[in-house]
Amino acid sequence: MNLPQKKALVTGAAGFVGSHLVERLLGAGASVRAFIRYTSVHRPSHLEAIPRQLRDGLEIMAGDLRDLAAVRQAVEGCEVVFHLGALVGIPYSYLHPLEVVETNTLGTLHVLLAARDYQVERVVHTSTSEVYGTAERVPISEDHSLRGQSPYSASKIGAEKMAESFHAAYGLPVVILRPFNAYGPRQSARAVIPTIVSQALTASTVRLGNLEATRDFTFVEDTVSAFVRAGEAQEAVGRIINVGSESEISIRDLANKILSLAGRAAVLEVEQVRERPTKSEVRRLLSDSSLAHSLLGWRPQWTLDTGLQATIEWIASHPEAYDAGRYEI
């Protein structure tokens, strides 16, 4: 599939990864419709960061994934659908599980129904490494068991299984990606790397939750490259594919690395409000991305150090986007 010749829909387009994907698609010459969640302010959030010269091929449509009519309107006329729209905050899912399930699971069903009815050529569905829960073995391959350790991860398991079923039952050409902890410029303070960076740049104490949990961090530009390849590679249809760096680091070591790169000194402090319930905490994630290598021809190009340096520089130049003293959920 030649994406520059296609009309692509990106749900969750105003978000962190979504805005980077929109920018990449526009830069490649694709025509893009961005589906964003309606607010009364009607500002396209991170889409405003896309260079103005690229925006001629961008159409912005506001709505809600829970509204089937709005989703159908967004999908109509599009040939490829990149479905990234979701409520992704795990602590938020503890407080509002119904909203999270309605948005993530029912919203995905709405996207799939519309894609089936309008006979789109490809749906790239965004899952998450959180569907695995705490690793039973590492590295984690796609056949690892699934565990809903938070309402968020359970909602994404349901959404993923719905996407899988539409491929099996209706022949809908679906690719399911399971990204491992994307990070980079534009990410909100609810994620751990911006949390660490924004505090490291402004305070003498960095307050965090579990310091011993390990994660596999993937720079956003690499994550976006996997999405693009998933939209193009015929071999990927009907497959579930991990997208990770195949390297893990503890949150403690990550924080110390960021402090070193930023040239800052700070004390690490565990703050109870930031800790997750014991049985809900995912303690270890490490990707086996061999399927991404073979099916997508994808490998990460950014090291953790270079990605962190780019992220630190972006956050330092956008202090207005972060309140380092506030715990974001």
Domain boundaries, the chain: 3-183+220-246+284-301
Strand order in the sheet with 240-243: 58-63, 31-37, 7-11, 80-83, 122-126, 174-179, 240-243
Region for residue 260 given its phi and psi (left: phi exceeds 0; alpha: psi -120 to 50; beta: otherwise): alpha
Question: In 152-284, which ranges are E strands?
Answer: 174-179, 182-183, 205-208, 214-215, 218-219, 240-243, 249-250, 267-270
**How high is the pLDDT of residue 42?**
60
**How high is the pLDDT of residue 244?**
98
CA distances from 25 to 34, 57, 80, 231 (A): 11, 10, 11, 11
Residue in 243, 235, 30, 232 with CA at minimum distance from that of residue 121:
232
Mean pLDDT of 33-57: 86
CATH, domain range 3-183+220-246+284-301: 3.40.50.720
Q: How confident is the model at residue 45 (pLDDT cuts 50, 70, 90)?
A: confident
- 168-188 pLDDT, tens digit each: 999 999 999 999 999 999 999
pLDDT beyond 70 at 81:
yes
Pairing type for strands 80-83 and 7-11 reads parallel
Percentage of the chain modeled with pLDDT above 90: 93
| Catalytically annotated residues | 152
Among the residue ranges 50-59, 104-113, 301-310, the one predicted with the least confidence is 50-59
Across the chain, which distance is largest between two alpha carbons, in Å?
A: 56
Beta-carbon contacts of 102 under 8 Å, excluding residues fewer than 6 positions away, are 66
CA distances from 300 to 137, 220, 293 (A): 22, 10, 10
Per the prediction, the chain carries an average pLDDT of 96
- 12-40 pLDDT, tens digit each: 999 999 999 999 999 999 999 999 998 76
pLDDT beyond 80 at 44:
no
pLDDT beyond 70 at 41:
no
Q: Answer for the pair 117, 45: CB distance below 8 angstroms, yes or no.
A: no
- 201-241 pLDDT, tens digit each: 999 999 999 999 999 999 999 999 999 999 999 999 999 99
Residues, the chain, total?
329
Q: How confident is the model at residue 3 (pLDDT cuts 50, 70, 90)?
A: confident
Mean pLDDT of 263-287: 97
Taking the C-alpha atoms of residue 235 and residue 109, their distance in angstroms, rounded to an integer, is 24
Percentage of the chain modeled with pLDDT above 70: 99
CA distances from 169 to 118, 143, 155, 165, 260 (A): 16, 21, 21, 6, 52
